[in-house]
Structure 1
Amino acid sequence: MFNFYSTAGLIFGNETSLNSCSQIIDTLGKNIFVVSDRGLTELGLIEPTIKKLKKNCNIKIFNDVESDPSKKTLLNAFSDAREFESTGVLGFGGGSSMDVAKLVSLLLGSNQQIETIWGVNNAKGPRLPLVLIPTTAGTGSEVTPISIITMDDKEKKGVSSKFILPDLAILDPLLTTNLPANITASTGIDAMVHAIEAFTSINSNNNPVSKMLSIEALKLLGSSIKTAVFDGHNINARSNMLLGSMLAGKAFANSPVAAVHALAYPIGGLFNISHGLSNSLVLTSVMKFNSKNEETKKNYAYLSPYVFKNLDNSKNDEFLCNNFIDGLERLCKELNLPYRLRDLEIPEEACQLMASEAMKQTRLLVNNPRKIEESDAYNIYKSVW
C-alpha cells in the first residue's frame, strides 16, 4: 500500500504566467498577497502578470524573501498578509518564495501557532487558496507538500503536510530564460538529487509512481542541463529543465529525500550557501557511501543509462554504479560548480559542527538506504573539504 498526493491543478507552457490570470483570480479571490524576492521585482519579471491581475483585483507584494528564508521573514510576510486581509496567496519566484507563500497561506487559514507546524503531518490546515509560479527549475516546490525555513539558530526546519500543496501550479519556461548560468547549474543539480533520492529512498511510502517520475525527470534533466546552463535562451532546454524539476518534485513529495539533503542543510544554514550548491557539494560523496549497500548499488546502476547514454550498459552493476557517480562528479565540474568546501571559505574545523547539525535532520536521515552516523557525516564533509 502507498499514498500519492499531488497538486490539484497544473498549467505548463510559454506565457502561461500571463495567460492564466483569470484562473489565478478565480482561485485566489480579490485580495491577492504576492510573495516574491527583490531581485525578481527589480528585474521586472513578475510585472506583466501583476499588471494584468491589478485590472481585476487588489494586489499586495511582499518581496523581502531571501535565499533560504528565515523565520523572521516568514513572520513578517504573515503579518503583512493578515493586515491586507488576503483572500489568497500567490508565490512567484524560486523555492524560497514558494516555501514562504505556502506557510503564509497555512498560518492565515488555520490559525495554528507557528511552533506547532514543524515536522511531518503536524500542519493540519485548512489554508487560504494558494497558487505557485516557479522562476527556477530546481526545487519543484510548486508541486511539493514541503516548506523549509531557517530558524534563528541557523538550523533548518521543515513542514511536510498535504495541506500546503497548492491549488494550482503555473509553469512558464520563459520565466527561466534569464537565470544566470551558476543558478541554472545549481538548481538543476538540486532537481537531479530529488529524482535520485526519491528513487532510492527507503521511506515506507516509496512507490512505483515516484520511481517512474524519477526516471522521466532524470531523462529530461540529464539531456538538457548543459544546454540550459551554456545557452540559457534555448527554450527547449529550459522547458525540459522546468518539466523535469516538476516531475522530480512530484516524485520526492511522495518518496522523501534523504542524506544528501540532510548533509546539505548545515552547509546552507551555517554558511549561507545556496541549497542547490550545498546539495552538489556532497552529492557524490554520499552516493559513494550509499553504494556500499547492494540494493542501492543496483538502483544507481539502473539509473545510470537514463542520464549517461554513452555508457556500455551491458556492464555489471559495480561498473554502472561507479560510472553513474563518476559521471555526476564530472558533470558538476563541467557546469563550473565549486566542488570543495574550502573554495567557499568554509574552514576545515567546521566539518565536525556540520556533522553534528546534520544528525538533527532525522526527518531525512531515516529515508537513507544506509544508516549514517555522525562519524560518517564527518568523513563525508572531510572528503569534500
Structure 2
Amino acid sequence: MLEQVITSTKIIVTPHLSAEEMERLIFYCKGEEANPCVIMDNHPLDARDAMLNEWQKIRPVEILNNVFPNPKVEDIMDMANTLQDKKINVVIGIGGGSSLDSAKGVAVILSNGGDLEEYLGATPSKKIEQHNVQLILIPTTAGTGSEVTKVGVYTSRSGRKYTLGHPCMQADIAVLVTEYVKNLPPALTASTAFDALSHALETLWNRNATPLTDKIATESAVYLLKNMEAAYESSLSGKETGRTEMLQGACMAGIGFNITGTAAVHALSFIFSEEWDIPHGIACAFTLEDVFRLNLRDEKTRVRLVEVAKRLFDKENEDDLLSSLLNRIISLKKKFGLPFSFRDLNIELPETKIGELFNKSLEDPKMKNNSTEITSRIIFDLIKSKINKNIESCR
C-alpha cells in the first residue's frame, strides 16, 4: 500500500497479532515506562479476545469496553475519568469506527484535560494543544479509515453529532490485522464497504481536492469497487476472499479524506444517526447515488469520476462511463440489501418535516466541502424523492 508514505501514521499490516507482538510494540513505543489501556466495544471477537487474554498474563492491562455506536460524550468521559489517575501513556483502540473514535477522544482528554464537549462545535471553549499519550488504532471493520485520520465523530449531550479534528488526534501507529476482519457478518461488511466507498468518492467531489488527493481517492475507489462484491459474497459463504483488500482499501480512502474532509453524503448522514440512530455506513449509503448525480454538475468532478470509470469499464464515451459507474454503485446497494427509501428504513417522514430536520446539515462544515453547492431546495427535493421511492425504480 504505497499510500502510507503520505500519512504521518505508521501502518503495520499483519495477518495475525500475538500477545508477545503487542507487548513488543508497546515497549517500542514507551519502553519500560509503558502503561497501556485498551478501548473497545463489548462485542465478542475471538482473535482479539484471545490476544488480550494472553497479553494480560504478561502485564496488567486496563481494558474498557464502554463503547457503543455513534459514541457519546458521556461514555467517553466516563472512560477518561476512570483512567485519569492511572498514569496511562499508551491508548489502544481496537474495533470499528466508534471504538477508534472513542480511543481518540479518551486520548484527547488524558492529554488536554477538561470535558470532551468543551472541544466540540463551531466555537469550542477549549482547544486541543497536546498529544501526550501514544495512540495505537487497530480496526476490526473495513470501512471507517479512522485509524489514519485526525478526526473523530461524537454525539454531544444534546444529541447533536459533531466532527472534531486536530493533528493531535492522528494515531501514531495503525495496525491492520487481517484476522480481525475475516469473519465480518454480511450486514456489517455491506455497510462498512459503503462507508469506505463514500470516503473515496467524497474526496473526489470535494472543494479541497488536489492532484494528490485525486490520485489517492481514484486508487482507493477503484480498489474498493473491484473487491467489495467479493468480500460481501465471502461473508455469506464463510470464506475470506476480499477481506484483506477491503481492509487496505478502507485505509487508503481514509488517507485521502483525512486531507480533504468529507462532503454532502456525510453531512446528511449525521441527521439520520441523530434522529433515527441509523448506523453510519447505512446512513452514508442511503444518499450516495443521489449525491453522485448532483455532483455531475461540476465539470472537475465529472473528469475525476470518468477516470475512476475508465479503470473499471471498457468504454470510450464519457456519459456511458459515468452511467456504468453509477449503475455499479446502485447494483451493489441492491445486492447488499442497503436502503434506497425511507420505507426501506421503516421511517415515516412527512414532507413538512424535511426542512426542519435536514436543513441542519447546511450548517455542517462538511456540506461546504461539496463540489456542487447544496441548497435547502436541493435537500428538500432529494429527501422528498426518497420518501416513496422503491428499489425497482432505482436506476
Match of 1:86 among 62, 85, 88: 88
RMSD of aligned Cα (Å): 2.1
Aligned positions of 1:315-326 closer than 5 A = 315-316=317-318, 318-326=319-327
The one-letter code sitting in structure 2 at the alignment partner of 1:68 is N
Q: Which residue of 2 aligns with 1:188?
A: 193
Q: Which residue of 1 aligns with 2:42?
A: 38
Q: Which residue of 2 aligns with 1:241?
A: 246
2:214/2:304 contact within 8 Å kept = no
Q: Which residue of 2 aligns with 1:230?
A: 233
The one-letter code sitting in structure 2 at the alignment partner of 1:273 is I
Count matched residues. 373
Instruction: For structure 2, list consecutive stretches of 5 or more residues without a partner in the other structure.
Output: 388-395
- Structure 2 CA distance for aligned equivalents of residues 210 and 16 of structure 1: 31
CA offsets 1:325-352 (integer angstroms, 9 cap, x no match): 2221111111121221222122222533
- Structure 2 CA distance for aligned equivalents of residues 151 and 224 of structure 1: 36
1:123/1:160 contact within 8 Å kept = no
Change (3 A) 1:217 1:19: farther
- Structure 1 CA distance for aligned equivalents of residues 132 and 355 of structure 2: 40
Match of 1:220 among 218, 223, 228: 223
The one-letter code sitting in structure 2 at the alignment partner of 1:213 is I
Q: Secondary structure at the match of 1:231?
A: helix
Superposed structure 1 runs of 4+ greater than 4 Å apart: 119-122
1:109/1:128 contact within 8 Å kept = yes
2:39/2:94 contact within 8 Å kept = yes
Identity percentage over the alignment? 26
- Structure 1 CA distance for aligned equivalents of residues 310 and 187 of structure 2: 26
- Structure 2 CA distance for aligned equivalents of residues 158 and 201 of structure 1: 17
Q: Which residue of 2 aligns with 1:257?
A: 262
Change (3 A) 1:7 1:20: farther
- Structure 2 CA distance for aligned equivalents of residues 18 and 186 of structure 1: 30
Using structure 1 for the length normalisation, give the TM-score.
0.91
Q: Which residue of 1 aligns with 2:393?
A: none
Deviates more, 1:319-328 or 1:67-76: 319-328
- Structure 1 CA distance for aligned equivalents of residues 190 and 215 of structure 2: 24
Q: Which residue of 1 aligns with 2:392?
A: none
The one-letter code sitting in structure 2 at the alignment partner of 1:337 is L
Instruction: For structure 1, list consecutive stretches of 5 or more residues without a partner in the other structure.
Output: none
- Structure 1 CA distance for aligned equivalents of residues 53 and 224 of structure 2: 33
The one-letter code sitting in structure 1 at the alignment partner of 2:233 is F
CA offsets 1:77-136 (integer angstroms, 9 cap, x no match): 111221433221110000000001011111101225534423689422223111110000
Q: Secondary structure at the match of 1:58?
A: coil
Aligned positions of 1:202-217 closer than 5 A = 202-203=207-208, 206-217=209-220
- Structure 1 CA distance for aligned equivalents of residues 107 and 168 of structure 2: 10
- Structure 2 CA distance for aligned equivalents of residues 384 and 51 of structure 1: 47
The one-letter code sitting in structure 2 at the alignment partner of 1:369 is S
Whether 1:272 and 2:268 are equivalent positions in the alignment is no
Change (3 A) 1:18 1:175: farther
Using structure 2 for the length normalisation, give the TM-score.
0.88
Q: Which residue of 1 aligns with 2:347?
A: 346
2:77/2:115 contact within 8 Å kept = no
The one-letter code sitting in structure 1 at the alignment partner of 2:358 is A
Q: Which residue of 2 aligns with 1:12?
A: 13
1:19 to partner: Cα distance: 6.0
Change (3 A) 1:45 1:352: farther
2:205/2:295 contact within 8 Å kept = no
Q: Secondary structure at the match of 2:321?
A: helix
- Structure 1 CA distance for aligned equivalents of residues 342 and 29 of structure 2: 44
Match of 1:74 among 61, 73, 76: 76
- Structure 2 CA distance for aligned equivalents of residues 368 and 83 of structure 1: 43
Q: Which residue of 1 aligns with 2:179?
A: 174
Change (3 A) 1:103 1:346: same
- Structure 1 CA distance for aligned equivalents of residues 131 and 90 of structure 2: 12
1:139/1:249 contact within 8 Å kept = yes
